[in-house]
Amino acid sequence: MPSVVWLVLLFVVPLVIMLSLSLKTCNPASGACTMTWNWGELPHQVNLYRTEFFTSLEYGAAATIVDLVLSFPIAYWIAFYGGRKKNFFLMMLLVPFFVSFVIRTLVWEFILSPSGFFLTFLHHIHLVSANFHVLGTGSAVIAGLAYNYLPFTALPLYVAIERIDRRVLEAAYDLYASRREAFMKVILPLSVPGIFAAFLLTFIPAFGDYVNQQILGGTSSTMIGTVIQNTFLVTGDYAAGSALSVVVLVISLVGIWLYSRVLGSRSIEEYL
């Protein structure tokens, strides 16, 4: 099984090495690491970058909630009213993916920039005040994350809603359910697996993202991904970087574990 070998060597082994690196002490100048069984590195790093962890959790969650609210109605509409154009509308949801991730984040910088034509225009028609600025704030980062990961939310939601048995809905109406009741008591509960999958598939990448923060957030409120990138690629302190990555991995694994507990690990393929 060459694929298993590949996955074990380049996915499982690196994770183990990362764990062991987090117990080492590295010399950033020479890049040499020695095993010191320094269990203290983990709590130390977490303590050091507590704010960044919370910022990441907050931005990730905010972007995911924005995405869920934004995409539930459209997923519902495509599933129930899409008709023959379903595939076309699904492709429209995927449209951002036809542009490179870094480029589309850059374009948001252009849109949100105070000297860009969009904000200049809004200012011109007196929709925003002259000193209004978004770029370099947390809102810009959340907006970028929400835009970039929206398809990850919309598609699982669509799959879940599409799968709802229409006969159950009809039964609800036959039993004199109002539209609101049918929605609250049939559609919403039956789409919970999709909501859960959408949350996980959006939150985990958004939580670990650092491109949006770097490009749109400027120097304000750093996310943990930025810290990890910098400790690895700028300072070269592999022990500290590994310790932080281990924490990110553990946080994600809790989500992944909850997911496979509730929905089973195989169900993810239905939402891809």
**Under a CB-based contact definition with an 8 Å cutoff, are residues 36 and 178 in contact?**
no
Structure tokens at 204: 């985990």
Q: Per-residue x/- marks for another protein, 125-144, CB under 8 A?
A: --------------------
Q: Is 71 exposed, middle or buried (0-12, 13-18, 19+ CB in 10 A)?
A: buried
Given 25, 38, 230, 252, the residue binding another protein (CB under 8 A):
252
**Under a CB-based contact definition with an 8 Å cutoff, are residues 173 and 187 in contact?**
no
Query: Shortest Cβ distance from residue 194 to another protein (Å)?
Result: 12
- Nearest residue to 248 via CA among 205, 217, 218, 212: 205
Of residues 214-233, those binding another protein (CB under 8 A): 214-215, 225, 228-229, 232-233
CA–CA separation, 89 and 139 (whole Å): 28
CA 67 to chain centre: 10
* Gyration radius of the chain over CA positions: 22
Query: Shortest Cβ distance from residue 126 to another protein (Å)?
Result: 20
Of residues 16-55, those binding another protein (CB under 8 A): 17-18, 21, 31, 33
Task: Please report whether residue 157 would count as binding another protein according to CB under 8 A.
Answer: no
The set of residues, in sequence order, having a beta carbon less than 8 Å from that of 132 and lying 6+ positions away, is: 114, 119, 122, 123
Given 98, 125, 126, 261, the residue binding another protein (CB under 8 A):
98
Given 57, 61, 80, 218, the residue binding another protein (CB under 8 A):
80
Q: Per-residue x/- marks for another protein, 168-207, CB under 8 A?
A: -xx--xx----x--------------------xx--xx-x
What is the four-CA torsion angle of 177, 182, 186, 192, rounded to 10 degrees?
-150
Q: Nearer Cβ to another protein, position 125 or 233?
A: 233
Query: Shortest Cβ distance from residue 50 to another protein (Å)?
Result: 18
Of residues 53-72, those binding another protein (CB under 8 A): 70-71
Given 3, 30, 129, 219, the residue binding another protein (CB under 8 A):
3
